[in-house]
A = this chain, B = another copy of it.
Amino acid sequence: MTAGGPVLSAAEFGVATELFFQRCAGCHGVLRKGATGKPLTPDVTREKGTEYLKALITYGSPAGMPNWGTSGDLTPEQIDIMARFLQQEPPAPPEFGMPEIEASWKLIVAPEDRPDSPQHDRDIENFMAVTLRDAGQIAIIDGDTKEVVSILPTGYAVHISRPSASGRYMFTIGRDAKIDMVDMWMDPPAIVAEIKIGLEARSVETSKYKGYEDKYAIAGAYWPPQYVIMDGDTLEPLKVVSTRGMTVDTQEYHPEPRVAAIVASHEHPEFIVNVKETGHILLVDYSDIDNLTVTDIGAARFLHDGGWDRTKRYFMTAANQSDKIAVVDSRDRKLVALIDVTKTPHPGRGANIIDPEFGPVWVTSALGNANISFIGTDPEGHPENAWKNVRTIDGMGGGSLFVKSHPNSTNLWVDATLNPDESLSQSIAVFDINNLDAGFVKLPIAEWAELGEGPKRIVQPEYNKAGDEVWFSVWSGKEQESAIVVVDDKTRELKAVIKGPEIVTPTGKFNVFNTLHDIY
C-alpha cells in the first residue's frame, strides 16, 4: 500500500474502500475517473497532497463537494484515512457476472401461485411506491385513503420504483443493485421475486411496447458497468451486456461507463439506456434477445436522467457535467439535438407543460444554479422553437433535484433539496404556468409537516393519479421524524400529512398510473 503514495495499513485500506463506495463512488466512480464529481486518480491527488485533501473533504467546495467533516458525517480520523487512500491506485472492485447474478435470484412466489385477480378493492393505479431511504424499505401507500398498505424490505436506498406495463407489478432497485418485484394484486402487496444485478445500481425498467407488456425487465448497474435483461414475471436473469467501451468524443477506452437512466420506448420494442461516462444512448431491441440488436447513439458525456416529451416520441436526457440536454427521436432512432442548457441539469424525468408563448415545452431544473430551462418539443406545431432553450426562469436556488407538472394542472413545482439555505431546502417553489413572469410562490412544506429537529429537506413533487394533489417528501435524518406532505393542487393548501414511526427518510415517490404512462 505504499508505492508512490502515503502509508496506509491494510485495515485502513479496507475502511477507506468501504467508505469510498458508500459516500464517494456515486459521483466520482469506483475507479475515480470522475463524472458528476472530479477525477481522483493518483496523478491528480498526489499533487494536491494529504493536507489539501483533508481540508476539501472536511469543508466541501462551492462546486458541489459536500462538507463531510463539518456536517459530522465523517470523523477527523476517517477523513485522514480517506485523504491518504485517495493517493493510492484505486482497487478494482470484483466482477459480478451471470454466475453471481443467478446465485442471488430468489423466486419467492411463482407465477402459478399468485392470485388470478386483485385481492383487495383499492385503486392500484393510485398507489404510491415511496422509497424509505435509510430503512432499506419501500412503503406502498394508498393514494385515495393515504393509508400505508405495505412496508416491504428492499435493497439499500431504493433509487427508483417502476410499475410493469399492466400496472400489476412494481419493481424497485436499491443502490446496492438489489431488485425487488412487488405483486400489487396481493393483499397486502408483497415481494414475489428478488435479484442482485451488480454491486451498485440506479435504474430498472420494464417492457412497455404493445405485445411485450410485463414480458421483460431491465436493470442498469454502476458496477460492474453492465445492464441485465430479466424475465418480467420472475426476474430470472436472461442476458448480461457490458457497457465498457469508448467515450463518445475522444473515442478512448473507459473502464467504467455506468448505466444511468433507462426508459422503455413506446415506438419500438426497445429499452433506451443512458451510458454515463462514455455518453452513448443505447436503443436495446428486446424483440429477440438471443440476437440482440442495439443502436448506439452518440450524445455527450455524463448522461444522467431524463424523460419523454408529451408525445412520448422524443427522449429528453441530461448530460449533466456537459451542461447539455440530448434529444433522441425514438421512432427514427436518431439524435435530434444536443442543446446547451444551464449548469448541471438534473431533470429527473422533467416536466411537460404548454408554455403560453412557446407552445409545448419540456422543463428541467439544475444542480448548479437557480435556472429552470424550457425546451421547445413541438417540431410540427412550433418548428421555430423546437429543440431550443426558449425560456429560462429563476427558481429558489441551486441544488434542485426535481420539477413536476401534470396535464390537468396549471402549476409547475420545483424543489431545491440540496440548497445549503434551510429556508429554501425546506420549501417548494410553485409557478403558475399561465403567468410565469409573476415568479414563484414559496410554500413552507417542512413547516406544514410539524416535525421536530432535523434537516427536513423537501424532495420530489409527485402527482396522484387524478392530477389534483401533489405529494412531497420531508426527508429528515434516520433517527428523526420524517413525513409526506400532500398539497391540494388547485388551492395550493395543505391537504394531509402522512407520518409515523414507519415513515423513515422518505425520498422518491412513484404513482403507479403516472409512472406507468410517463405523465410528468
Interface on A for B, CB 8 Å cutoff? Answer: 95, 97-99, 224, 226, 239-242, 244-246, 250-253, 288, 290-298, 333-335
Contact = CB atoms under 8 A, between A and B. Distances in A.
A279 to B, nearest CB: 13
A295 B293 contact: yes
A290 B95 contact: no
A252 B291 contact: no
B290 A335 contact: yes
Contacts of A99: 250, 252
Nearest to A247: B97
A333 B292 CA distance: 10
A251 B239 contact: yes
Contacts of A239: 251
Contact of A293 (B241, B245, B251, B333): B333
A290 B298 CA distance: 7
A296 B297 contact: no
B246 A240 contact: yes
Name A's interface SS. strand
17 contacts: A97-B252, A98-B252, A99-B250, A240-B246, A242-B244, A244-B244, A244-B245, A290-B335, A291-B297, A291-B334, A291-B335, A292-B296, A293-B294, A293-B295, A293-B296, A293-B333, A294-B296
Copies in the complex: 2
B297 A295 contact: no
Contacts of A246: 97-98, 226, 240-242
B245 A242 contact: yes
Given A226-B246, A292-B295, A293-B295, 19 more contacts: A97-B250, A97-B251, A97-B252, A97-B253, A98-B251, A226-B253, A239-B251, A242-B244, A242-B245, A242-B246, A242-B253, A290-B297, A290-B335, A291-B295, A291-B297, A291-B333, A291-B334, A293-B296, A294-B296
Contact of A252 (B95, B252, B296, B297): B95
A240 B251 contact: yes
A292 B296 CA distance: 5
A506 to B, nearest CB: 36
